[in-house]
């Protein structure tokens, strides 16, 4: 049984008053009035009130003692994590040859500062993104017009035409390479109107000269709609090789193949990136050619060449087409299957942190294990640097995980010679405390030695701001603006002492390692930067082996995770890519080397419900109808009961005495119409439920919708009416969705743009 926390004194105010009054006849027999109106009794009541307050405080273990207890066990509280994001600069009115924007430049989201992580050349061009989207069923009249067009030029119409529309990416939906005729995304680099030299033979010669030899920073934000994340036993390869970057090679002209098709030549650009563009946000740095003449595009193309084959897309807006300085072609191989939420030039990653430089700490005193408190806590791990001055001697200290691994301050007197570092300190990032060595392990700051600290701290979850919230700071060049095209992510507050104490038993058993199912649950709940609403651990299972059941795939563990919030799907939350990546990065160093972990969101099955009820007299019909609807939604919800949500209540949620139904709809439990009918009948004001109709998707009315593996129900619609139930077809409307795709992916097709109608 659990050991109860001892009370130093359990007496209450009434106990104290009664005890003191009982002592009166022993010590002062002449005092005979014990009523509340007696002044002496009033003083006793005052003393009892003061004493009760002192007893209450004595029974409370101070937070400092609790923190020390966790430190003795080696349980470090998770520090705050800084928010991250992507910012894009627009050189709208700045100089053509404006200087680069240095790394560390500040942008503000109201009063919250962010800093860039990369030096950016603010190129004097804007960008627009286009895709060649195939037209699956072209109009016969359109095909006939192309036959006439080819005939007018004395050429034969190609055997197969792959007609496409030039579609501009507007940023409202993910885009990629899969639904294009050429597995490419085209970025038009467009000059500013004020930079055009109308009288010159090449009106954009000055812009080409300004671009020559400079670096184009292309920001990539992959689509966050992902259901699954795998942690394999062996690390995977980097996916940078999936993308190629090129600009037109105009000097080579346009050639024609044996079938009289135009063939365009491109010049590959040297790309530098240190991230996986299929999973991570980042910036690809592209080195533009040093020769201005090499930064160009084809012009004066005839109607049988513009946009045909591998040439850049044909734009209907002739004014915009005349402003194009060059094209950037981003291509993927045929095996690539990923998309982007945003792509743009003049981009840099940003981090939300505030830098503190040369903060003076208390001077050294020569004693062992000296501790110094930083002015702001928690601080960002890895950001603290310490230097000290002892007279004219400067000493730079480095961080170390464990002071017991540090070398001795003085070799000899029993201390062996060692190559271990000596000038080291240990950091508690959450508490903002720096600890120095004891002389045997690590150096002690000398008496009077001045100590200075530089570090970063973050605003935590307050740094998670929406798209467009960031504005440029004072050190951004004039005429250049910047903002974040997508919301920032990853910011989280420091872990509380209460949450840290819940890890004591697990830490003593497994030392923060993923061993048992309880370890997977409790460690996942501690992952910073995400709001986890539910986690189900399925041991020895893998999502690729269906149905996903325990003990089917030894060596693998599947975690079905559900976020606490999803604005796009509030009743059926789905994890996105950043959610899975944050959880993945937290679990990776804690898993066993022989364990493969699969993180997966639920696979929702859409269901429709129509209920007919009889309302008792004296009850409001609208209130009763809403009560039934709310009760059914809560009954089928994938998330735990609202009173059991949050990491602080995780132990209660998975306790042995908790009804599994309160943890959200259980896995492998089918949805039965009879169970829903019984749940609806429990709503206040319901006399009976004459009829309940249940259907899955576009299917017929059934008695049960089976749920297997990672499947959970998603309520697509509920109708509650008095009397008979509304027919399901009326509830879901006419027509059915279809995902059929009969497009032909033959490589022999010739991409040809659809010409806009003119009058």
Residues 574/566, Cβ–Cβ less than 8 Å? yes
- pLDDT, mean over the chain: 83
Extract the tokens encoding 144. Answer: 């006939």
- Look at residue 273 in the predicted model and tell me its pLDDT: 84
β-strand partners of 342: 221
Phi, psi values for residue 629, rounded to 5°: -60, -45
State the CB neighbour count (10 A cutoff) for residue 190.
Answer: 19
User: 516 or 417, which is more confident?
Assistant: 516
Residues 553/541, Cβ–Cβ less than 8 Å? yes
pLDDT band at residue 286 using 50, 70 and 90 as cut-offs = very high
- Whether residue 650 has pLDDT greater than 60: no
Can you tell me whether residue 165 is helix, strand or coil? Answer: strand
Residues 583/490, Cβ–Cβ less than 8 Å? no
* Sign of the dihedral through C-alpha 659, 663, 665, 670: negative
Compute the average pLDDT of residues 267-274: 87
pLDDT band at residue 229 using 50, 70 and 90 as cut-offs = low
- Whether residue 211 has pLDDT greater than 90: yes
Q: Break the chain into its structural domains and give their ranges.
A: 13-60, 80-122+346-353+460-493, 123-212+243-270+282-342, 354-457, 513-601, 604-732
State the CB neighbour count (10 A cutoff) for residue 293.
Answer: 13
Phi, psi values for residue 322, rounded to 5°: -70, -15
Residues 590/526, Cβ–Cβ less than 8 Å? no
Concatenated DSSP letters for 592-609? -TT-EEEEE--EEEEEEE
| pTM of this prediction exceeds 0.85 | no
- Look at residue 439 in the predicted model and tell me its pLDDT: 87
pLDDT band at residue 113 using 50, 70 and 90 as cut-offs = very high
Compute the average pLDDT of residues 481-491: 91
Pairing of strands 750-753, 184-191: unpaired
Q: How wide is the angle at C-alpha 231 spanned by C-alphas 272 and 538, nearest 5°?
A: 155
- What is the per-residue pLDDT across 342-400, written as a single tens digit (0 to 9) for each? 999 999 999 999 999 899 999 999 999 999 999 998 898 889 999 999 988 999 999 99
Concatenated DSSP letters for 698-750? TS-B-SEE---TTEEEEEEEEEEEESSPPPHHHHH-S------------TT-E
- Look at residue 178 in the predicted model and tell me its pLDDT: 78
- What is the per-residue pLDDT across 576-609, written as a single tens digit (0 to 9) for each? 887 888 888 889 888 888 889 999 999 999 999 9
- Look at residue 629 in the predicted model and tell me its pLDDT: 93
Compute the average pLDDT of residues 709-725: 92
Q: What is the distance between the alpha carbons of residues 269 and 345, in angstroms, rounded to a whole number? A: 15
Q: Which positions ≥6 away from 30 have C-beta within 8 Å? A: none
- Look at residue 120 in the predicted model and tell me its pLDDT: 93
Can you name the CATH fold of 513-601? GMP Synthetase; Chain A, domain 3 (3.30.300)
Which of 534-548, 650-664, 701-715 is predicted with the least confidence, judged by mean pLDDT?
Answer: 650-664
Cα dihedral 357→358→361→365 (10° resolution)? 150
Residues 403/490, Cβ–Cβ less than 8 Å? no
- Whether residue 25 has pLDDT greater than 50: yes
User: 332 or 609, which is more confident?
Assistant: 609
């Amino acid at each position: 049984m659990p050991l109860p926390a001892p009370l130093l004194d359990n007496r209450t105010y009434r106990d104290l008053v009664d005890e003191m009054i009982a002592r009166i006849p022993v010590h002062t027999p002449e005092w005979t009035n014990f009523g509340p109106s007696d002044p002496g009794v009033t003083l006793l009541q005052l003393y009892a009130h003061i004493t009760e307050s002192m007893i209450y405080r004595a029974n409370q273990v101070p937070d400092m003692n609790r923190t020390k207890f966790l430190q003795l066990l080696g349980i470090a509280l998770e520090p705050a994590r800084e928010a991250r994001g992507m910012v894009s600069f627009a050189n709208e009115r700045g100089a053509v040859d404006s200087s680069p924007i240095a790394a560390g430049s500040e942008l503000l989201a109201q009063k919250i500062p962010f800093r860039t992580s990369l030096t950016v050349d603010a190129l004097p061009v804007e960008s627009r993104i286009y895709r060649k989207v195939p037209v699956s069923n072209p109009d016969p009249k359109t095909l006939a017009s192309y036959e006439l067009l080819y005939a007018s030029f004395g050429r034969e119409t190609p055997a197969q035409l792959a007609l496409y529309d030039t579609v501009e990416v507007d940023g409202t939906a993910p885009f990629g390479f899969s639904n294009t005729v050429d597995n490419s995304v085209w970025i038009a680099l467009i000059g500013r109107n004020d930079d055009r030299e109308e009288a010159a033979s090449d009106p954009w010669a000055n812009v080409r000269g300004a671009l020559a030899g400079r670096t184009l920073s292309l920001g990539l934000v992959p689509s966050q709609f992902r259901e699954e994340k795998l942690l394999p036993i062996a690390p995977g390869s980097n996916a940078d090789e999936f993308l190629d970057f090129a600009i037109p090679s105009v000097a080579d002209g346009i050639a024609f193949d044996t079938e009289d098709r135009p063939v365009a030549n491109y010049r590959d650009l040297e790309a530098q990136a240190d991230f996986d563009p299929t999973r991570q946000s980042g910036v690809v740095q592209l080195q533009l050619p040093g020769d201005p003449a090499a930064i160009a595009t084809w012009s004066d193309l005839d109607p049988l060449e513009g946009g045909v084959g591998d040439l850049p897309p044909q734009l209907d807006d002739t004014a915009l087409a005349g402003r194009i300085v060059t094209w950037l072609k981003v291509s993927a191989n045929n095996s690539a299957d990923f998309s982007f939420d945003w792509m743009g030039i003049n981009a840099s990653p940003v981090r939300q942190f505030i830098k503190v430089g040369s903060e003076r700490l208390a001077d050294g005193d020569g004693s062992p294990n000296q501790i110094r408190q930083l002015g702001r806590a928690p601080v960002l791990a890895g950001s603290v640097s310490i230097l000290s001055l002892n007279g004219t001697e400067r000493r730079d200290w480095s961080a170390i995980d464990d002071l017991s691994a540090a070398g001795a301050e003085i070799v000899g007197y029993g201390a062996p010679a060692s190559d271990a570092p000596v000038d080291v300190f240990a950091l508690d990032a959450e508490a903002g405390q720096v600890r120095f060595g004891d002389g045997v392990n690590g150096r002690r700051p000398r008496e009077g030695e001045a100590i200075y600290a530089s570090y970063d701290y973050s605003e935590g979850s307050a740094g998670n701001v929406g798209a467009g919230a960031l504005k440029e700071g004072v050190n951004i060049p004039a005429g250049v603006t910047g903002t974040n095209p997508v919301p920032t992510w990853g910011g989280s507050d420091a872990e509380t002492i209460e949450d840290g104490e819940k890890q004591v038993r697990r830490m003593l058993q497994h030392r923060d390692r993923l061993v048992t199912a309880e370890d997977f649950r409790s460690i996942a709940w501690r992952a910073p930067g995400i709001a986890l609403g539910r986690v189900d651990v399925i041991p020895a299972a893998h999502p690729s082996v269906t149905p996903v059941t325990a003990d089917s795939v030894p060596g693998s563990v599947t975690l079905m995770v559900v976020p606490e919030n999803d604005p796009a799907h509030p009743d059926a939350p789905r994890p996105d890519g950043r959610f899975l990546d944050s959880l993945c990065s937290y679990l990776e160093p804690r898993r066993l080397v022989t364990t493969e972990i699969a993180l997966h969101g639920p696979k929702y099955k859409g269901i429709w419900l129509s209920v007919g009820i009889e309302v008792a007299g004296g009850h409001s019909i609208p209130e009763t109808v809403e009560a039934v609807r709310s009760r059914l939604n809560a009954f089928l919800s994938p998330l735990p009961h609202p009173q059991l949500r949050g990491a602080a209540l995780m132990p209660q949620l998975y306790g042995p005495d908790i009804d599994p139904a309160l943890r959200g709809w259980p896995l492998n439990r089918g949805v039965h119409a009879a169970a829903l009918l019984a749940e609806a009948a429990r709503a206040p004001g319901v006399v009976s439920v004459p009829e309940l109709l249940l259907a899955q998707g576009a299917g017929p009315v059934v008695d049960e919708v089976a749920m297997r593996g990672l499947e959970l129900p998603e309520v697509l619609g509920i109708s509650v009416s008095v009397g008979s139930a509304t027919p399901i077809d009326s509830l879901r409307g006419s027509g059915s969705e279809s995902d059929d795709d009969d497009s032909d992916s033959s490589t022999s097709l010739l991409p040809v743009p659809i010409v806009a109608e003119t009058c």
